[in-house]
Structure 1
Amino acid sequence: MRILTYILFLIFFSINTIAQTAEQLVESANNKMEEGNMLGAIKDFTRAISLKPEFAEAYLGRGTVYGELLDFPEAFKDINTAITINPDLNEAYFNRGFISYMTKDYKNALLDFDKYITQNPDDAEAYLARSNTYEKLNKNEEAVKDLLQYLDFLPLTSQQYTTRSAVKYKMFDTLGAIQDLTKAIELKPENYELFLLRGNYYMSIKNYNKAIEDYNVYIINDKTNYIAYIKRGESYAALDIYSAAIEDYSCAIKINHNDARMFFDRAIFYMQINEYENAKKDFNMAELFNFEEKDLLYFNIGIAEINLGNITEACKAFEKCNNMAKDFSDKYCK
């Protein structure tokens, strides 16, 4: 072998050995990271960098470890170096975004998460990270969209369908929220709380019959929650089934007997079926428990008294509700 050829062979062999050794050190460092040996990982990454100064993955790895140790200045410096060496190292943008987020530099965090997601649109965790960043920037609509995107990647459990349902409801996608709750119920039908929640969603879109069906299931399983009776009662009232509404409110009042609003509402239902004496009693109970809408209360007391033939008492009530009862006062009290 010629001397020149031998020298070239040695140089080529040495370069390959160094590269291989640096890669082995990175592999060793990664293993140590998984084992929780962070200081050992830093040493191996540092040795890899000393052998191969342009080894972007080694800088990224060491920066990641510094990030795990909350040494953000060192982490940021190493990850910036990794990106300078290899701008196509996508993972570096995610990690730098994380560090920016942790140091409350949310705008730059968002830029890095955007860049990472553009290249990695199937990474669920990235959408969650960006959702959190949007939230910090008070971009709630974007935050919710990313959260939904994150949930779409998951094999959803009943709880996750319930969570996604709540997010959709906040975005005014009530039908989508109901669909997700239906899936949650299919997976866990014994969770009767879901029926109460779906009933509320049905109520919000005025599908009162469906709401009543769900409240029925809930109440069969829990007869102690007065809110469920109130909700079902409101649904019955919306369908003009006032006797059923009164029955549900009566159950609610037995459980929580000092709520002025419940007495007032039941009184209104009594008025609808011309039971003015019962209405008057409930209005008086609402007054006893300090119903806040005084003008409305005394106006309705006056109406009940008129229908009972008690004009003097009606006029006394109308005097307490300012101008709300002016027409009635002019008619009955002059």
Structure 2
Amino acid sequence: MKKLFFLALAFNTIATGYCQAGEEHFKNGILKDSLHDFKGAIADYTKAIEIDPAFAKAYINRGIDKDSLQDYKGAIADYGKAIGLDPRNAELYRMMALSKTGLKDYEGAVFDCNWAIELNPANTEAYRARGYAKYKLKDYLGAIGDFNKAIEINPAYADAYKIRGFAKANLQDYKGAVGDYNKTIELNPAEASAYFNRGIIKIATGDKTAGCADLTKAEELGHEDAGKLIKKYCK
């Protein structure tokens, strides 16, 4: 009996040591993330997972880093592992949707966002992600519906107004689009694309002076295409 007790004690000690080693690699990964050493962090999270294959947080962090390095397939695989360990975590589905968006798998992104929203109907970012995927699929009305919901939850969500403006412009609702760009600029005065797109609409609808002023502001804020349109329409 004593022998069995000591064997069990030794096993528990070894297991505890392995867990601690996994945690150390995980902490090292977080430190490297803070230094933007994503490849180094991935190596540490991989070691943590090798020690503890059920280490959900290590899969999540490794997935985030892979996404940052545009390894979207690798990120999706890690989020899938994490979902297997924590299937009720709505945020994991949203993160996987963003990686699918990176691969231009917009239908897959919508599917994942549906799960995220079902699990957490107040997930503003999931509505934003699904709205963007629908926008890329040219489902402009569907996109507007999702951005409406995101704005209902968070009325100060500048990015939701901006992309809703893009969708309205594609439906030729120029007045509605300008209203959304106005709100975007009110919330985020440094949003170059809102000035740029508002400027295009103003020029197209006959308000050249105001439109050119918007394009000039967009160029000042670093919009790459603003200068070309200024030369074409404002000189």
So what's the TM-score if we normalise by structure 2? 0.69
| 2:113 matched residue in structure 1 | 215
Q: Which has the larger radius of gyration?
A: 1
Count of residues in Structure 1 that have an aligned counterpart in Structure 2: 205
Q: Which amino acid aligns with 1:256?
A: N
| 2:158 matched residue in structure 1 | 260
1:157 Cα offset (Å): 4.9
Unaligned runs of 5+ residues in structure 1 are: 1-30, 35-122
Q: What aligned pairs does 1:47-126 form with structure 2 within 5 A after superposition?
A: none
| 2:200 matched residue in structure 1 | 303
Distance in structure 2 (CA, Å) of the matches to 1:194 and 1:300: 33
Unaligned runs of 5+ residues in structure 2 are: 1-5, 10-17, 217-226
Q: Identical aligned pairs, as a percentage?
A: 27
SS in 2 for 1:321: helix
1:169 Cα offset (Å): 4.3
1:280 Cα offset (Å): 2.1
Task: From the superposition, tell whether residues 213 and 140 of structure 1 become closer, same or farther in structure 2 (CA, over 3 Å).
Answer: closer
Contact residue 174 and residue 201 of structure 2 kept, 8 A: yes
Distance in structure 2 (CA, Å) of the matches to 1:204 and 1:172: 8
Q: Does 1:278 align with 2:172?
A: no
Contact residue 128 and residue 150 of structure 1 kept, 8 A: yes
Contact residue 246 and residue 270 of structure 1 kept, 8 A: yes
Distance in structure 1 (CA, Å) of the matches to 2:214 and 2:203: 15
Whose RCO is larger (CA < 8 A, sep 6+)? Answer: 2
SS in 2 for 1:156: coil
Contact residue 161 and residue 184 of structure 1 kept, 8 A: yes
| 1:318 matched residue in structure 2 | 212
Distance in structure 2 (CA, Å) of the matches to 1:289 and 1:130: 41
Task: From the superposition, tell whether residues 197 and 275 of structure 1 become closer, same or farther in structure 2 (CA, over 3 Å).
Answer: same
CA deviations on 1:198-224 (whole Å, 9 max, x unpaired) are 112222222221111110111122222
| 1:116 matched residue in structure 2 | none
Task: From the superposition, tell whether residues 171 and 126 of structure 1 become closer, same or farther in structure 2 (CA, over 3 Å).
Answer: farther
Aligned pair partner of 2:122 in 221, 224, 231: 224
Q: Which amino acid aligns with 1:318?
A: C
Distance in structure 2 (CA, Å) of the matches to 1:142 and 1:284: 42
Aligned pair partner of 2:101 in 180, 203, 207: 203
Task: From the superposition, tell whether residues 288 and 127 of structure 1 become closer, same or farther in structure 2 (CA, over 3 Å).
Answer: closer
| 1:94 matched residue in structure 2 | none
1:164 Cα offset (Å): 4.5
Task: State which drifts further: 157-166 or 214-223.
Answer: 157-166
RMSD of equivalent CA atoms: 3.5
SS in 2 for 1:215: helix
| 1:28 matched residue in structure 2 | none
Contact residue 48 and residue 58 of structure 2 kept, 8 A: no
Distance in structure 1 (CA, Å) of the matches to 2:188 and 2:74: 40
| 1:145 matched residue in structure 2 | 43
CA deviations on 1:55-111 (whole Å, 9 max, x unpaired) are xxxxxxxxxxxxxxxxxxxxxxxxxxxxxxxxxxxxxxxxxxxxxxxxxxxxxxxxx
